[in-house]
Amino acid sequence: MSTAYPFTAIVGQDDMKRALTIAAVDPGIGGVLVLGERGTGKSTIIRALAALLPKIDIVKGCPYQCDPDQPRQGLCEFCAKPSATPITTTMTIPVVDLPLGSTEDRVVGALDIERALVNGEKAFQPGLLAQANRGFLYVDEVNLLEDHIVDALLDVAASGENVVEREGLSIRHPAKFVLVGSGNPEEGELRPQLQDRFGLSVDVRTPSDVPTRVEIIRSREAFDKDRGAFRKRWARKESTLRRRIQRAREALDSVDTPANLLETAAKLCIALGTDGLRGELTLVRSARALAALNSDSTATLEHLKTIAPSVLRHRLRRDPLDESSADIRVERVIAELFNDCDD
């Protein structure tokens, strides 16, 4: 495995970094969509994230990395077996690649052919969705994903479980993952249903000022020259951020959510005319996650304001031609609303 570029060494791209760390703190936020042109470091940052994530406790031997603290609550067959007490072990939060060209059997899982033929057993061979449980599922060029794979993803992403009914198998297993998709919007649109599944979305651009570009080039050169040494130089920052994410995950449940935050979130969504409740829920959850990340005990309007563009950008009632102004609309409504609040 090639050594990943350190997350903390990535120059600029603060929106993208913030969205991904928030998703690492609260996986329930519903995924991150990263849209941008070539050469903006979309895939670099996700590989970087994989190397940054903290460890989690899992049930040893469980193919779905179930949480030992919540035994038998999951749907997993392995952990539901009454026989043995689960042994706890740890692993780094998984980041699983869903490459373009994946076949459905590998994504959702299928009959284990070897065991079927050799032993005549009907056994399930878990797929990528199983590997991604409790972690991240990354789809590069998500707008080019085949429709039948997207269909499979949509259902699982919404329900958090993967139901396999094929080849005489009847399996349900937990598949809660943070879906991370990246793509270049110039190459085709995302299906609206899939776009809705993402909790946060970020637009990335290449910075166009000389000093930043020189910095990008310099650090990338240094990295390419000696990856090990470069990682070592950033190790302290990496572990600081890792601990911060870890602490925020633990503190998340105890973050206070004042009533005016809920109210403002609702007002924002009404003012922008977003469909459904998902926008509001994600706004509140993201504000809480951001508060936890900043070691604040209460989620404030300031947190909400920071995160609102990422939460709402892709949820505005779609005028498919009015893509560019989404950010401006969100910002304008935020400005209006927050001025009111100050009065």
What amino acid positions are annotated as catalytic residues?
278
The structure tokens listed for 21 are: 């760390």
What's the min distance (Å) between Cβ of 138 and another protein?
10
Q: Which is nearer to another protein, 39 or 82 (CB)?
A: 39
Q: For CA atoms 249, 95, 155, 35, give the dihedral sign.
A: positive
Q: Which is nearer to another protein, 254 or 324 (CB)?
A: 324
CB of 235 vs another protein, minimal distance in Å = 22
Q: Which residue, 221 or 340, has its beta carbon nearer to another protein?
A: 221
- Listed residue (1, 164, 157) closest to 92, CA to CA: 1
Least distance from another protein to the Cβ atom of residue 131, Å? 9
Q: State the nearest-atom distance from the C-beta of 306 to another protein, in Å.
A: 27
- Least distance from another protein to the Cβ atom of residue 57, Å: 25
Q: CA triplet 13, 48, 295: central angle to 5 degrees?
A: 70
Cβ nearer to another protein, comparing 141 with 296: 141
* Cβ-based nearer residue to another protein, 188 or 276: 188
- CA Rg value for the chain: 21
φ and ψ at 160, to 5 degrees? 75, 5
Residues interacting with another protein, by CB under 8 A? Answer: 1-2, 37-39, 43, 47, 97-107, 110-111, 113-114, 116-118, 120, 122, 125, 127-128, 140-141, 144, 146-148, 167-168, 184-189, 206, 208-210, 213-214, 216-218, 220-221, 224, 319-321, 323
Rounded to the nearest angstrom, the gap between the alpha carbon of residue 221 and the centroid of all alpha carbons in its chain is 29
Cβ atoms 42, 212 nearer than 8 A: no
Comparing CA positions, the residue from 41, 63, 43, 214 lying closest to residue 133 is: 63
Between CA 122 and CA 77 the distance in angstroms is 14
Rounded to whole angstroms, the Cα distance separating 292 from 314 reads 24
